[in-house]
């Protein structure tokens, strides 16, 4: 492994340690004494997965999406070895992600996450959409959708990097749970996301529509909202 790749792995493992620390209490509440073993095994599994995480060339949020998916996959695989069904493992990942987002104070979330409603961000989306038609960005190909009175703007993904990655890693059944995480992100970050279909659930596109501080309205085949 080259020095550059080694540095990347070290940083990704550090990030994973931070995530594990923030969800440990919730995992203990679900798994009891087994939580420590699962976290240790998941870190080892994640280290194996890192070389397979597709590169999005630094493009955000795609780089973050793919890295997070690698983390989900590591824990998912370990939970399966401990007797969890795909449904049980996916639902636990959803619960852990909810707790993870809650663990970050609002000011830190605003600092760490881009303002997806800023003119600069929307222009990047527009440019990225055009670029993706020539060469996919980490497996993503998408179109920019102009806003209407009902939403500020939209994105139609015709190819999904997360779905492709998990398909190649032999876990396409995890994809709908990863898609469902957008519900949590929208609620926490004020995306006002509306989505009626995803490629993972058999749709021809993933139709994202954003409205600042709007109500989240996302259909999911695996998660029922309270």
Burial class (CB in 10 A: 0-12, 13-18, 19+), 79: buried
- State the pLDDT confidence band at 89, using cuts at 50, 70 and 90: very high
Among 13, 3, 95, which Cα is nearest to 53's? Answer: 13
Q: How far apart are CA 90 and CA 24, in angstroms?
A: 17
Using alpha carbons, select from 85, 97, 100, 96 the residue that is nearest to residue 173: 85
Burial 207-223 (b: 16+ CB within 10 A, else e): bbbbbeebebebebebb
Mean pLDDT of the chain: 94
Question: What is the b/e burial string over 11-24, where b = at least 16 CB atoms within 10 angstroms of the residue's CB?
Answer: ebeeebeebbebbe
**3-state secondary structure at position 64:** helix
Q: What is the mean pLDDT of residues 184-207?
A: 95
Model confidence at 3, pLDDT cuts 50, 70, 90, reads low
Output the pTM of the full model: 0.93
Rounded Cα distance between 103 and 62, Å, is 23
Tokens at residue 1, please? 């492994």
Return d(Cα 111, Cα 95) in angstroms, integer. 24
Q: Rounded to a whole number, what is the distance in angstroms from the first to the last CA of the chain?
A: 46
Tell me the per-residue pLDDT of 132-179, one tens digit each, with 9 for 90 and over: 999 999 999 999 999 999 999 999 999 999 999 999 999 999 999 999
Question: Is the per-residue pLDDT at 1 higher than 60?
Answer: no
- Work out the percent of the chain whose per-residue pLDDT is above 90: 88
Residue 208's pLDDT band, with cuts at 50, 70 and 90, is: very high
């Amino acid at each position: 492994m080259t020095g550059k790749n080694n540095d990347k792995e070290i940083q990704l493992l550090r990030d994973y340690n931070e995530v594990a620390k923030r969800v440990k209490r919730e995992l203990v509440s679900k798994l009891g004494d087994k939580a420590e073993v699962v976290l240790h095994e998941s870190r080892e599994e994640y280290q194996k997965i890192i070389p397979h995480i597709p590169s999005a060339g630094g493009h955000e949020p795609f780089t973050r999406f793919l890295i997070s998916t690698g983390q989900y996959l590591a824990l998912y695989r370990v939970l399966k070895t401990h007797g969890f069904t795909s449904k049980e493992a996916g639902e636990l990942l959803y619960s852990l992600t909810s707790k993870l987002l809650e663990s970050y104070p609002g000011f830190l979330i605003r600092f760490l996450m881009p303002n997806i409603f800023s003119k600069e961000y929307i222009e990047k989306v527009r440019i990225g959409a055009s670029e993706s038609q020539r060469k996919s960005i980490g497996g993503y190909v998408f179109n920019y959708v102009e806003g209407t009175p009902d939403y500020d703007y939209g994105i139609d993904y015709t190819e999904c990097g997360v779905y492709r990655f998990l398909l190649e890693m032999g876990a396409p059944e995890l994809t709908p749970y990863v898609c469902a995480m957008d519900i949590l992100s929208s609620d926490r970050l004020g995306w006002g996301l509306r989505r009626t279909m995803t490629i993972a659930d058999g749709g021809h596109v993933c139709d994202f529509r954003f409205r600042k501080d709007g109500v989240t309205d996302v259909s999911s085949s695996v998660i029922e909202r309270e």
